[in-house]
Amino acid sequence: MVAYRTARKVLPLYSHRFSPKTFTQHQLFACLVLKTFIKTDYRGIVAFLQDCPDLCKTIGLVKVPHYTTLQKVSKRLLCLSIANQLLISTVKSICKNKKIKLAAIDSTGLEAGHISRYFVRRKRSKQLETYENTHYRRWPKLSIVCDCRNHLILSAITTRGPSVDVNQFRKTLQPAIDTFNIKHILADAGYDSESNHRYARDECHIESTIPPNHGRPTLTPKPFKGKYRELMRTNFDKETYGQRWQVETVFSMIKRNFGETINARQYWAQCREIMLLVLTHNIAVLLLVNELFYRAGQISFLFDKTVFQQA
């Protein structure tokens, strides 16, 4: 229901006035999120919904959509513009004032196929004790900005790795600062550059904390050319930077809960599937927050009732 309510805030009921009107966009988006949540494919979610009629009634499905219907609607609902609107809607459900005190940025790689690890590193022959190391040249890459307080993803971009992070700082951060008021951004040494500091501090008025280790494998007293990198060397906030691991927790949550393998083969299909992972993660966080508030309300009600009876 959280996915259904999120879609109702952003998406119209139908994509076109001449659509068949068999399913609403809200229902189809909820089916896509459920597909990722239970870690299955389009055929699997159709079979799952057929076995769970009560679940279909929850979102008002009269009949189960065909798997090709879900595949086609994913191309429309998971494009970057609509996916960003849905992502912003999930964050606004908790951060109503749009103020983010501390955020972190990082990237991770995902698997592109169910390939056994045996074929990645295996012996060349039975006679020789040497190993043949096979490396994947390209893989799907996800870069995100997350709220360190509640693990919600504020913005996300999809690319292909291996690639450096330093030139993706502005592209990843820009969608987040267009909507939210971020006070402080944390990043690892892969984003270290004077231009990134200037963009965050001078253009966006965001305090940035990035270790000045890029290009300097060994410690040296030689000053940096840029004033912000020199500031990181002389006055680095270690206590605040310790919260950067929150973004690593977000990646761990995504991979543990929904898997790290992307089933799609084409590039744009992989981008859409990654964005669905991001949206499903935020919706799962909303589910957890709603459950905590519900339990807190129950405890408060029982406590007040006990106090009233004692009085």
**Which residue ranges make up each domain of the chain?**
2-77, 87-114+140-281
- pTM, to two decimals: 0.84
Percent of the chain with pLDDT over 90: 49
**Architecture in CATH of 87-114+140-281:** 2-Layer Sandwich (3.30)
What local confidence, expressed as pLDDT, does residue 307 receive?
Answer: 38
Q: What is the pLDDT of residues 158-213, one digit of tens each?
A: 999 888 899 999 999 999 999 999 999 999 988 999 999 999 999 999 999 999 88
Burial track 220-258 (b if 16+ CB lie within 10 A, e otherwise):
eeeebeeebbebbbeeeeeeebebbebbeebbeebeeeb
Nearest 5°: CA angle at 190, between 189 and 194?
75
What local confidence, expressed as pLDDT, does residue 19 receive?
Answer: 86
Using 50, 70 and 90 to split pLDDT, how confident is the model at 264?
Answer: confident
Place of tokens 């952003």: 10
What local confidence, expressed as pLDDT, does residue 303 receive?
Answer: 43
**Mean pLDDT for the chain overall:** 84
Averaged pLDDT for residues 15-35: 90
What local confidence, expressed as pLDDT, does residue 134 receive?
Answer: 56
